[in-house]
Amino acid sequence: MTEAIGAAEADRALKSRHRAMWALGDYAALASELIPALGRRLVDACGIGAGQRVLDVAAGAGNAAIPAALAGAEVVATDLTPALLERGRQAAEESGVRLEWREADAEQLPFPDAAFDTVMSCVGVMFAPHHEATAAELLRVCRPGGTIGLINWTPQGFIGRMFAVMKPYAPTPPPGAQPPPLWGDEAYVRELLGEGVSELGMRREMLRVESFATPEAFRDYFATRYGPAIAVYRGVADDPGRTAALDRELADLARHHGDPSGSGAMDWEYLLAVGRRTG
């Protein structure tokens, strides 16, 4: 009993840190400026349209949820971070659509079994720390014959490599927490979803990003707007040497991935996975 209570308290503390981390900076602006195409791509790949009931898990500020609502679906958007949900509400109003916004943990979704026609997540659930629990929840709330759709950054792609660069500068993750980019590996996703899906199609695609004139511009943008990067920088703020090293490594990463023409454009690889819920 004591161990169970301790584990529950540790999980609450971990989720509290995640909630605070994603409220740092301005992820809503980052998503709308850099990756709006990803949400639309996922909605199209899932075949979302009028009359469908759709759940967007770890929806952030609605990068995929709002396009789904614009397609005519009845959409519920969930996220762990209330500040992002509020930004999503504002964006939805500006887009002229209505959808439901609910604070929820991807590992413990507050919905009955088989409640949705489509369950999706756009670079969201990959950041929940316990992957098996998250995958089980995605499957549980999707009706038999419904659609599971995911977009996740790959380990080998730019964002996956960015997390690898930041890892030595970040605190050691708690026991049981799993690296987010694993969700971008085909074999791993197939194992996570298992017999819960059929007709699982997966393909790696590229997102063209042309927002940064220099590698340093990319680094400075993420260091002030992206919650995980801000948290890592705060952790080394008292060590000028480590801060300078992190600065250098992030800029070098962007330089390595930049277009050889010198335009500053980059291609960010992601995995698109869409399958049919069995049962």
Q: What is the pLDDT of residues 12-23, one digit of tens each?
A: 888 999 999 999
Strand partners, 79: 103
Strands (E) located in 134-196: 142-153
Take residue 87 and report the two structure tokens written for it. Answer: 């930004």
**What are the pLDDT digits (tens) for 91-142?**
999 999 999 999 999 999 999 999 999 999 999 999 999 999 999 999 999 9
CA distance 157 to 98: 34
Residue-wise pLDDT for 193-222, tens only, equals: 999 999 999 999 999 999 999 999 999 999
Q: Which of 176, 133, 182, 178 is nearest to 10 (CA)?
A: 176
For the chain, the helix, strand and coil percentages under 3-state DSSP, each to the nearest 5: 50, 20, 30
Which DSSP symbol is given to 258?
Answer: B
Picking from 113, 31, 8, 40, the residue whose alpha carbon sits closest to that of residue 79 is 31
- Cβ contact 137:108 at 8 Å: yes
With contact defined as beta carbons under 8 Å apart, do 223 and 229 qualify? yes
For residues 16 and 122, what is the distance between their CA atoms, to the nearest angstrom?
21
Structure tokens at 100: 């439901």
Residue 210, Cα to own-chain centre: how many angstroms?
Answer: 20
Exposure string of 20-48, with b = 16+ CB inside 10 Å and e = fewer, is: ebbebbbbbebbbebbeebbbbbbebbeb
Task: For residues 39 and 28, give the distance between their C-alpha atoms in angstroms, rounded to a whole number.
Answer: 13
Q: What is the average pLDDT value for the chain, to the nearest integer?
A: 95
All structural domains of the chain, each given as residue ranges with its CATH number in brackets, are 2-164+171-208+268-277 (3.40.50.150)
Are 190 and 21 in contact, with CB atoms under 8 Å apart?
no
Mean pLDDT of 16-44: 96
Of the candidates 16, 17, 83, 3, the residue with the CA atom closest to the CA atom of residue 228 = 17
Q: Is 64 left (phi over 0), alpha (psi -120 to 50) or beta?
A: alpha
pLDDT over 60 at 4, yes or no: no
pLDDT tens-digit readout, 162-172: 999 999 999 99
